Amino acid sequence: MAKKQKAEVIPKSCVACGSCLKVCPKKAISIWKGSYAIVEKEKCVGCRRCERECPVNGIEMRETHEKVV
């Protein structure tokens, strides 16, 4: 069974540059207290744009247990 992927920020890698925010089509990412990015999992559609955009490889795609619809 296929599983959905969702973006997850690695806080210790993130430099809060804001690049991922600009490319996310779902506006699922915000910067938490100016220190690192966080992804709202409910909004993320797993398009991987943020992962490609991040200059420090601070975003990983993680499988979720939700079914792909």
| CA-based nearest residue to 39, from 30, 48, 52 | 30
Pattern 8-47, ligand SF4, x by CB under 6 A? -x----xxxxxxx--xx-x-xx-------x-x----xxxx
Q: Which of 3, 50, 64, 66 binds ligand SF4 (CB under 6 A)?
A: 50
- In 3-58 the beta strands, taken as DSSP E runs, fall at 3-9, 29-32, 36-39
Contact criterion met (CB below 8 Å) for 43 and 4:
no
Contact residues toward ligand SF4 (CB under 6 A) are 7, 9, 14-20, 23-24, 26, 28-29, 37, 39, 44-50, 53-54, 56, 58-59
